[in-house]
């Protein structure tokens, strides 16, 4: 899907722990108090640059509540801050003091507002698979995206107030 989207790729993140998916070694380095490596996330950063420099948008909303889990402190402090330098956009839907308008909606990618890809994770944060749905399901996931964006704030603003 990342090879073929033409306008935008949107991600909804809803979990407090993805520690067994993706940057597992970097997460353990973070927990050990080591500095962020210079080559952290370099492949994803290059992909983001290619997409955004060609006019495509990559953005995500993370639904979360405070206090942040250790994993979220890592993801936001290392991941989001770093990825933003390549053009990825981040937003936070903080449900600490409000109802979650997306209660029961799980993680997904949505490509070009038409093709949803719901994602599954184990209880301990390991990626367990994804399903590419038909474009007939696009309207439902576009509505989830629109709801998320209507209630979220830009990450940089949220982080300036709530970084831990």
Kindly report the CATH number assigned to the domain that includes residue 29: 3.30.870
Q: Is residue 36 part of a domain?
A: yes
Q: Is residue 2 part of a domain?
A: no
Give a yes or no: residue 50 inside a domain: yes
> Is 22 a member of any domain?
yes
Decide if 3 is inside a domain.
Answer: no
For the chain, the domain total comes to 1
Residue 104, phi then psi, degrees to nearest 5: 90, -10
pLDDT, residue 23, reads 82
* The pLDDT value given to residue 64: 98
Enumerate residue ranges in the chain where pLDDT < 50. none
- Each residue of 56-76: pLDDT tens digit? 999 999 999 999 999 999 999
Tell me whether residue 70 is in a domain: yes
State the chain's maximal CA–CA distance in angstroms: 46
CB atoms within 10 A of CB 105: 18
* pLDDT value at residue 135: 87
61: left (phi over 0), alpha (psi -120 to 50) or beta: beta
List the domain range (segments joined by +) for residue 57.
Answer: 8-162
């Amino acid at each position: 899907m990342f090879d073929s989207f033409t306008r935008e790729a949107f991600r909804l993140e809803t979990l407090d722990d993805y520690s067994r998916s993706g940057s597992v070694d970097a997460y353990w380095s973070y927990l050990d108090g080591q500095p962020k490596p210079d080559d952290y996330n370099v492949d994803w950063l290059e992909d983001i640059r290619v997409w955004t420099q060609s006019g495509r948008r990559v953005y995500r909303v993370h639904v979360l509540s405070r206090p942040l889990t250790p994993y979220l402190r890592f993801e936001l402090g290392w991941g989001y801050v770093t990825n933003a330098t390549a053009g990825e956009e981040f937003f936070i839907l903080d449900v600490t003091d409000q109802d979650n308008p997306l209660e029961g909606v799980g993680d997904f990618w949505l490509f070009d507002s038409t093709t949803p890809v719901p994602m599954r994770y184990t209880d301990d944060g390991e990626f367990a698979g994804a399903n590419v749905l038909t474009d007939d399901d696009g309207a439902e996931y576009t509505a989830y995206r629109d709801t998320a964006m209507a209630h979220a704030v830009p990450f940089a603003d949220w982080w300036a107030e709530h970084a831990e």
